[in-house]
Structure 1
Amino acid sequence: MKQALGTGVLCALGAGLLWGLVFVAPRMLPDYPPTLLAFGRYLAFGLIALPLAWRDRAALARLRAADWRMAFELALAGNILYYLCLASAIQLADAPLPTLIIGTLPVVIALLSNARDATLPWRSLLPALGLIGLGIGLVNQQELARLAPGAGRHYGLGVLFALGALLCWTWYPIRNARWLKQHATLGSSTWATAQGLATLPLALFGFVATLAVARPAGYALPFGPQPQRYLMLMLAMGLFASWLGTLLWNRASRLLPAALSGQLIVFETLAAFAYAFLWRAEMPALPALAGMALMLAGVVAAVWAVQRQRGV
């Protein structure tokens, strides 16, 4: 039991470190529209899934029609729509406020998951969530100070996209975890590959449609003004953030209570902030460092609460 808890936490940590990469890509490719960032990432995910699907073809052949419908739903909401909204929010409103809004995910998901399933006593859950919430607020003091005044309608539109991303990424892990626990024989790797295959036609259609209809004026076909950087980043996000991150999160979702795994999305938030500071070659201020420490303390408190409940 204790080993399963530790393995689940480590899998969630790995997924968070990989998912944090997607917050940096829009800043590394500011000349690319959000549609091409989202569709490029998931086109790479789908193409990477093809050879993996051949290797795992026996397990994939056992999936039912209901499994494939769920894979398409998860691919559409948790992959395509989520990253379209996130990349749009970051480019329209800069990174600080979208990151703050998305950063509330650990608290929102944990509250919703526990309200539905009651897997942890509220007296054990709320202190950990309080530490995480306070940490998110402290970290974002430094980020919010970077906001440009008078951002106007673009800023407001960016906030709306960030809220859309929050909605998508709140639904995805809760629904994904429930499906995995309802289908105990479904392997984490098989399910990650199935989601990649489900994403492929959606991403291919979106990528081609964007190039045909909505590409920016003067955009160099097919891979834009920085093709080498674009291709490398899309492949890296497709392999690491999408396939491997999904695999690790599937494993964590199977091993951990939904309320705890929801809180562990805080690893994604921490990684996103850390990568942003590295990209800007900037040292976090003392409140940001204190906030990160509180977020980690919240994770420790949450894991301790699960250990106490399970008697391990």
Structure 2
Amino acid sequence: MAAQGGGGTAGLGSGVLWALAAGALWGLVFVTPLMLPEYPAALLSVGRYLAFGLLCLPLAWFDRAGLRSLVRADWWHALKLAFVGNLLYYVLLASSIQRTGGPLSTVIIGTLPVVIAIVANRRDAARDGRLPWRRLWPALVLIALGIALVNQTELQAVLADPARDVAGYALGAALAVGAVACWTWYPLHNADWLRAHPQRSPRAWSTAQGLATLPLALLGYAALWGLDALRDDPFAMPLGPRPALFVGLMVAVGLLASWLGTLCWNAASQRLPTALAGQLIVFETLAALLYAYLWRGQWPAPLSLLGIAALVAGVLWGVRVRPEPAVVQAHPD
């Protein structure tokens, strides 16, 4: 029988709450590029994860027992997760947000619940059980409809504004698709490790990923600084034209979004089937939309509100779907 991965209704309920907390924290990273539009996306990425890695150094003392139990293969896995799910993902996302203004990138990233649910439902059925398509598809359709409605509103605003760069907007959309690919790969492989090691601490695994990110972020920061010097770029490296705001935001997103958000997501991933957890990434989309509209100082358009309502309805429908054990075909004699 397939592993159900959740310990019953109580486990599923706590898993949903952990995913909700992760989404609320991760939504913060969508507004950061809007607050620092003059900063290169690559610098925002290495700055965020440099802060994450440095914050994990003292945190590692509290997780020393769990970290000592990790073997070389575990650290190699953490390094791959750190590169694809942290640095590469956020470079693509921040670049996209700076070109589209926020909500479009947010709703493209919002396709993750649909993409991950479909991929995981095929990939991980033997381990998690299969979420029955006949009950799952209404949730996926509602989520996809919500994303389309919000996207339609944003696209109309861009086309109606002659000052907006349509080509840059399209490039931003393409970069967001690349971010979706990175973050489809990340939760699937992160869940593989967590479900294979249910006795391990989600907090220690979050700290391990931060420590693995640190050398990558240091190398990236050094490379950007060197390229800036070679090009005689007027950008004020290493902290840019607004150093206090830059450092403050990097520390905030490093601690809240990267470490605490990853901790919450790891806890959710240990309790939920991956296909269901994938749908709950929509909490990140909803939080990011809220923060983006607050930053803009405007209320969402009616069509956007309808799309947000569809997203919420899709989530509420999806969390009611329970996995069924995968049917194992007997080999004929």
1:65 to 58, 68, 72: 72
1:143 aligns with 2:154: yes
| Identity among equivalent pairs (%) | 57
**What's the C-alpha RMSD, in Å, of the aligned pairs?**
1.7
Moved >4 Å (runs of 4+): none
Larger Rg: 2
Which letter does structure 2 place at the counterpart of 1:276? A
Distance in 1 (CA, whole Å) between partners of 2:255 and 2:79 is: 19
1:284-305 Cα distance to aligned partner (Å, 9 max, x none): 1222222212211111111111
1:165 aligns with 2:172: no
The question of whether the paired residues in 2 share the 8 Å contact of 1:40 and 1:234 is answered with: yes
Between 1:281-290 and 1:18-27, the stretch displaced more is 281-290
The structural deviation recorded for 1:160 is: 2.9
Q: Secondary structure at the match of 1:289?
A: helix
The structural deviation recorded for 1:64 is: 0.9
- Across the two proteins, how many residue pairs are aligned to each other? 309
Question: Which residue number corresponds to residue 95 of structure 2?
Answer: 88
1:48-92 Cα distance to aligned partner (Å, 9 max, x none): 100111111111011011100100000000000000111111223
Question: Which residue number corresponds to residue 142 of structure 2?
Answer: 131
Question: Which residue number corresponds to residue 226 of structure 1?
Answer: 242
1:236 aligns with 2:236: no
Between 1:91-100 and 1:127-136, the stretch displaced more is 91-100
1:91-140 Cα distance to aligned partner (Å, 9 max, x none): 23433432232121110011100011232111111111111111112222
Q: TM-score, normalised by structure 1?
A: 0.94
Q: Secondary structure at the match of 1:184?
A: coil
Q: TM-score, normalised by structure 2?
A: 0.89
Structure 2 gaps of 5+ residues are 1-7, 326-333
Task: List aligned pairs for 1:23-62, cutoff 5 A.
Answer: 23-62=30-69
Distance in 1 (CA, whole Å) between partners of 2:43 and 2:249 is: 12
Q: Secondary structure at the match of 1:24?
A: helix
Question: Which residue number corresponds to residue 253 of structure 1?
Answer: 269
1:295 to 311, 320, 323: 311
Q: Secondary structure at the match of 1:198?
A: helix
Distance in 2 (CA, whole Å) between partners of 1:221 and 1:167 is: 31
Distance in 1 (CA, whole Å) between partners of 2:307 and 2:113 is: 14
Structure 1 gaps of 5+ residues are none
Distance in 2 (CA, whole Å) between partners of 1:59 and 1:117 is: 27
The structural deviation recorded for 1:212 is: 1.6
The structural deviation recorded for 1:152 is: 5.2
Question: Which residue number corresponds to residue 188 of structure 1?
Answer: 202
Distance in 1 (CA, whole Å) between partners of 2:65 and 2:108 is: 41
Distance in 2 (CA, whole Å) between partners of 1:85 and 1:97 is: 14
1:227-278 Cα distance to aligned partner (Å, 9 max, x none): 1110111001000000000000000011011111000000011111111100
Which letter does structure 2 place at the counterpart of 1:34? A
1:177 to 184, 191, 207: 191
Which letter does structure 2 place at the counterpart of 1:286? P
Higher helix share: 1
